[in-house]
Amino acid sequence: MNFWMQLRSRGRLILAITLPLAALATPLRLTAQNLVTNTAFGSDSTSGTNVQSNPAIVSTGTANLELVKTGDRSSAEPGDTVVYRLIFANRGNAAATLESIQDDLPQGLNLQQDSLRAILQAGSGTTEETFGAVQTLGTRGFNAAFANPVSIPPGGVLDVVYAAEVTPDAIRGSGRNIALGLLSNGTSTNSDTHRLRIRPGIASNCGTLLGRVFVDDNMDGFQQPGEIGVPYAVIFLDDGNRITTDEEGLYSVNCLRPGRRVGTLDYTSVPGYQITPDPNFIERDSVSRWVNMAPGATRRMNFGLQPLAEIEPIQEPEPAPIPVPEPEPIPIPEPEPEPEPEQPAPVPALF
């Protein structure tokens, strides 16, 4: 028994559309391809001749193509090459036809067209898909069309990879780009974003600070071979950075602005130690050090320490005594000569 609809007109033409009766009694069961076939016929009421149309095939499945974009690194600097990957996965129950991919690359990144590759994974087999024309969009974007539209079956995955070169102009950009896929029915997939952190690299005028906090065995203020480092010592920089040394007492800071940089050792992080005193340079007795950081230069800032029990106070040399001139001896006056005794006057002779 068939279900049919009837329409009368002036020409007494009857149009009927037939459907399986089971469709009225139970939910519609789809085939493995999710297809339903319908037919139509017309009849003349006078002659009773029926004219049947060609079968109309309707797909009841829905394609659901999802895009995920990734990169082979989270940060890069001018001169590097970044490899991007687009994964188109069909999560629906009908095939999806992808015609092209579109990407708006970050500022300063140039597409390497020869790197475009696409692999279709359907079931247990893989097929390489080829690209045709690559159209430039704006200043950085591109649209890469497939030589033949790619039909991605349910459960299939299309893997697209391409490379981009990082130029010095990337420093002024955000490193953010958006990709999507364009389908044959005029719609597009979801868009996905990747964010790349751009490091200045050799194009920067920033400097690098290296250093070590070590046990100064010979107490000369300089690091010598064999002098061990002090782990987990804390150093504060003038710009607010807080650095902790590693197990070997080493530390480093990248991208410091040019100028005079000052580092201060936190005494609370090195209990039992004290800066090695130096009688020749007053600044080395301080817990602070300074370096003059030139653009793009590398500078070293070390801190020599000694255990408190091993530090002996520096004895200041006693000043030499000032010679005091002895007073000249007072000359002893010569004794006055004793007066000669007076001779008695001669007695005149009486005769």
Give the pLDDT score at 27: 34
Q: Nearest 5 degrees, angle CA 320-CA 325-CA 331?
A: 165
Q: What is the pLDDT along the chain (351 residues), one digit of tens a residue?
A: 343 344 343 444 444 444 443 333 333 333 334 556 666 666 666 666 666 666 665 555 677 899 999 999 989 988 899 999 999 999 988 899 999 999 999 999 999 999 999 999 988 889 999 999 899 887 788 999 999 999 999 999 999 999 999 988 888 888 999 999 999 888 999 999 999 998 876 656 778 899 999 999 888 878 888 899 999 999 999 988 899 999 999 999 987 888 889 999 998 999 989 888 776 666 667 888 889 888 778 899 999 998 887 555 666 778 888 887 777 778 787 777 777 777 777 767 665
The answer to whether the CB of 144 falls within 8 A of the CB of 101 is yes
Give me 197's structure tokens. Answer: 């952190």
The span from the CA of 236 to the CA of 64, in Å, is: 54
303 class by beta-carbon count within 10 Å (0-12 exposed, 13-18 middle, 19+ buried): buried
Give the pLDDT score at 218: 85
122 class by beta-carbon count within 10 Å (0-12 exposed, 13-18 middle, 19+ buried): middle
The span from the CA of 111 to the CA of 272, in Å, is: 58
Q: Which of 272, 277, 284, 267 is nearest to 233 (CA)?
A: 267
Residue type at 157 in one-letter notation = V
Please give the model's pTM, rounded to 2 decimal places. 0.47
The answer to whether the CB of 68 falls within 8 A of the CB of 89 is yes
Query: Could you count the other beta carbons within 10 Å of the beta carbon of residue 146?
Result: 19
The span from the CA of 20 to the CA of 132, in Å, is: 46
Please name every residue paired with 304 in a beta bridge, in sequence order, or none if there are none: 214
Give me 98's structure tokens. Answer: 């992808």
Residues 6+ positions from 167 with CB-CB distance below 8 Å: 78, 108, 109, 110
183 class by beta-carbon count within 10 Å (0-12 exposed, 13-18 middle, 19+ buried): middle
Give the pLDDT score at 236: 93
